[in-house]
Amino acid sequence: MNENTQNRPDPSSATPQSTSSVSASALPDSPLSVDRPLGTPLGPQPTRVLLLGSGELGKEVTIELMRLGAWVCAADSYAGAPAAQVAHEAQVLDMADAQKLNALIAQVKPDIIIPEVEAIATSELAEAAHRGIQVVPSSGIAAICMDRERLRTLAHDELGLPTTPYRFAGSFEELGSGAEAVGYPCVVKPIMSSSGHGQSVVERSEQLEQAWREAQTGRRAANDGTVSRVIVEALVPLAYELTVLTVSSRAGVVTCAPIGQRQDHGDYRESWQPANVDDMTLATAQRIACTAVLGMVDQAQREGERGWGVFGVELFVLDNGTVLFNEVSPRPHDTGMVTMLSQRLSEFALHARAVLGLPVTQEHLNLTLRQGSVAASHAIVVEGEGEAVFSNLPEALSGPDADLRIFAKPAVHGHRRMAVSLAIGRDVDEARARAANVADTLHVVVA
């Protein structure tokens, strides 16, 4: 168990840089560079992409890859997933089953594998990379980011990024010791999960048993027959959270304008771009994001992989202005859906370009908003059992700066994110209100 919970000096305390871009170690004439054949997805030698995870984010990535002429197979654990509805081919399997995943890779023969979910047999990704298949961003990065313990150790111990005080625990007894060390209140999370699954806020020791149980039963892949290790973190005086979308491509590492967000029990509900932050917070956030991504990309390239793609770097901003590293997703981020309205190239278009070996520079990340305007997204979560049918779209989308993405997931069981509304306003409050109004005006029936 890692006993080091003292934050190292904040690397952001150095003199601010004048740019949020960093040169890559893989320049256009590097052996890591590629110029893939595109435009003949149904021809004899297309660039073949295997997407592992076919939800709403994967659907947008699929569309962008197909726009650039790639062939895409979308795989997920259930039939009719959003990306599967638009891809050239769809497959259904348990992607955490190494034997089944290996068989799929052998069948599809992809040039590129893009993991879009956490529950994947990462050993097979490493084997695929060893055989020369490009894994996005790399097989090593995918494995690290799916494991909070490995990610926190890399970020805090190796890269020196500031984080919350934390401990890891492999048993209920270790959890109790860890909670005492970081103090109450604290947050308990399984080391492999996302979107708040299995997460609990613990106010006092009597709640630890329930938190341990929730981490085991509420996490993703809860039925894998194993006991999950957990991370217990101090509950810091949080002012707000930021996402800094960071893009690694053959041209280097660059960052998008920061995205503000609101979560509910660890799951995204609203986001807006640009976030209203001061210049010092902006510079610190961009520097931490670049440091985290460059650290992983450098490691990937030392191992002969590319490390290209979009990373969603999640940051905490405390009441006193301190910026802390929280987590990073090695793929487009759900809060980044706002970029479908705010940027010239959405996070999905940027991901497709980077993955296919196209350069992404700071100029590619420009906002397309009117001066002083803000874009917002609002997750539409539906409850019930059955198919979700949307109506009243003419009224909901009557505003000139309103938009909507219906994910077309086949069914709702309990509650599920089924769409996202988008809007532009003169400031953050107006943009959020307009996006919420689109969602509220829709009629959704589950039957």
Q: Tens digit of pLDDT for each residue in 16-51?
A: 333 356 644 333 344 455 789 999 999 999 999 999
Q: Which helix (H) or strand (E) holds 340?
A: helix 339-342
CA atoms within 13 A on the CB side of 377: 28
Whether 6 shows a pLDDT value over 50: the answer reads: no
Confidence check: pLDDT of 226 > 90? no
Q: Which residue in 111, 241, 327, 347 is the catalytic one? A: 327
Nearest alpha carbon to residue 168 among 218, 233, 236, 214: 233
Amino acid letter at 394? P
Q: Identify the pLDDT of residue 8.
A: 35
- Geometric angle at alpha carbon 328, from 322 and 333, rounded to 5°: 110
**164 compared with 4, residue with greater pLDDT:** 164
DSSP 185-236: SEEEEESS--TTTT-EEESSGGGHHHHHHHHHHSSTTTTSSSPPPEEEEE--
Tell me what pLDDT residue 24 has.
42
Q: Catalytic residue among 12, 21, 62, 194, which?
A: 194
Is residue 87 within 8 A of residue 54, CB to CB? The reply is yes
Between CA 111 and CA 237 the distance in angstroms is 46
pLDDT of residue 21: 61
Whether omega before 185 lies within 30 degrees of 0, making that bond cis, reads yes
pLDDT at residue 285 in the model = 98
| Distance, CA of 335 to CA of 338 (rounded, Å) | 7
Active site includes 164?
A: no
| Catalytic residue status for 195 | no
Contacts 24+ apart (CB under 8 A), 198-201: 198/222, 198/228, 199/265, 199/266, 201/235
Tell me how many degrees the CA angle 197-225-3 measures, rounded to the nearest 5: 65
Tens digits of residue pLDDT in 55-73: 999 999 999 999 999 999 9
What would the pLDDT profile of 116-131 be if each residue is shown by its tens digit?
Answer: 988 899 899 999 999 9
The amino acid at 395: E
User: Which of the residues 335, 339, 342, 377 is marked catalytic?
Assistant: 335
Percent of the chain with pLDDT over 70: 90
- Say whether 314 is catalytic: yes
Q: Where are the domains of the chain?
A: 165-234, 238-446
How large a percentage of the chain has pLDDT more than 90? 84
pLDDT of 305 higher than 70? yes
Q: Which residues contact 358 (CB under 8 A, 6 or more apart)?
A: 249, 250
Mean of all residue pLDDT scores within the chain: 91
Residue 295 buriedness (CB in 10 A; 0-12 / 13-18 / 19+): middle
Residue 192 has pLDDT above 90, yes or no: no
**193 — pLDDT class (breaks 50, 70, 90):** low
Q: Give the span between the Cα atoms of 172 and 134, in whole angstroms.
A: 39
Rounded CA-CA distance 257/260 in Å is 10
Q: Which of 241, 254, 245, 217 is nearest to 164 (CA)?
A: 241
Instruction: Specify whether domain 165-234 bears CATH 3.30.1490.20.
Output: yes
CA quadruple 217, 219, 225, 230: dihedral, nearest 10: -100
pLDDT digits (tens, 9 = 90+) for 229-246: 999 999 999 999 999 999
So what's the pLDDT on residue 9?
35
165-234 and 238-446: same fold? no
197 band by pLDDT with thresholds 50, 70 and 90? confident
| Residue 229 contacts residue 168 (beta carbons within 8 Å) | yes
Is 0.85 surpassed by the pTM of this model?
Answer: yes
In this structure, the chain runs to a length of 447
385 part of the active site: no
- Residue of 250, 269, 287, 417 with catalytic role: 417
- Which amino acid makes up residue 141? I
One CATH from 1.10.8.50, 3.10.20.340, 3.30.470.20, 1.10.10.10 for 238-446: 3.30.470.20
Residue 445 in contact with residue 389, Cβ under 8 Å?
A: yes
Which range among 147-156, 186-195, 308-317, 398-407 shows the weakest confidence by mean pLDDT? 186-195
**194 catalytically annotated:** yes
Which pLDDT does position 33 carry in this prediction?
A: 57
| Catalytic position from the list 56, 241, 305, 314 | 314
Q: In sequence order, which residues have a C-beta less than 8 Å from that of residue 154 and are 6 or more positions away?
A: 144, 295, 296
Q: What is the pLDDT of residue 141?
A: 96
Structure tokens at 58: 């994967």
